[in-house]
Chain A
Amino acid sequence: MKSGIKSEVYDKLAGIAGNVSNSEIENWQKQGGKIVGYFCPFIPEEIIIAGGFLPYKVRGTGSSDTSEADEYFDTKNCSFVRHCFNHALLGKFDFLDAMIVGTGCDHTRRIFDNWQVAPLKTKLVYLLDHPRTMGTEGMEETIISYYRAQLAKMKEYLENNFGVEITVPKLRNAIKLCNETRLFQKKLYELRKVENPPITAAEMASVLMAGASIPKEQYNEYLKTLLKDLSSVQGVKKDYQARLMIIGPAIEDPLFYSLFEENGGEIVIDDTCFGARYSMKSFIDEEAEDPLHAIAKYNVSDVPFCPKINGSHKNRIEFIDKMMKEYKVDGIIGQGYVACDPWGSSFGMLSAHMKDAGIPYLRLEREYISTETGQLSTRIQAFIETIGGRK
Chain B
Amino acid sequence: MPARTADRPIALIEQVIRGDEAAWHTLVESYLGFLYALAWRYARDDEDVAEELVLSVLEGLRRPDAEGRSFYRLRRYLESLARIGARSRFVTWLALVAKNLFCDWFREQGGRKVLPKEIEMLDALDREIFRAVFWEGGTERDAWERLRARRPDLSPEEFERHLLHVYRHLSQRNFWCVYQDLLRRAPARVLGDGGPGEGRPLDVPGAERPDQVLERSEVEAAARRVAEVLERAIATLPPVTRQVVRFAWRQGLSGEAIARAMGFRNRQRVYDELARARRRIRAYLRRAGVDLDEARQVQADIADAWAKIPADDDLSDPFSASVPMPLKSREPQGGAR
- A and B together in one complex: no
Chain A residues packing against B (C-beta within 8 Å): none
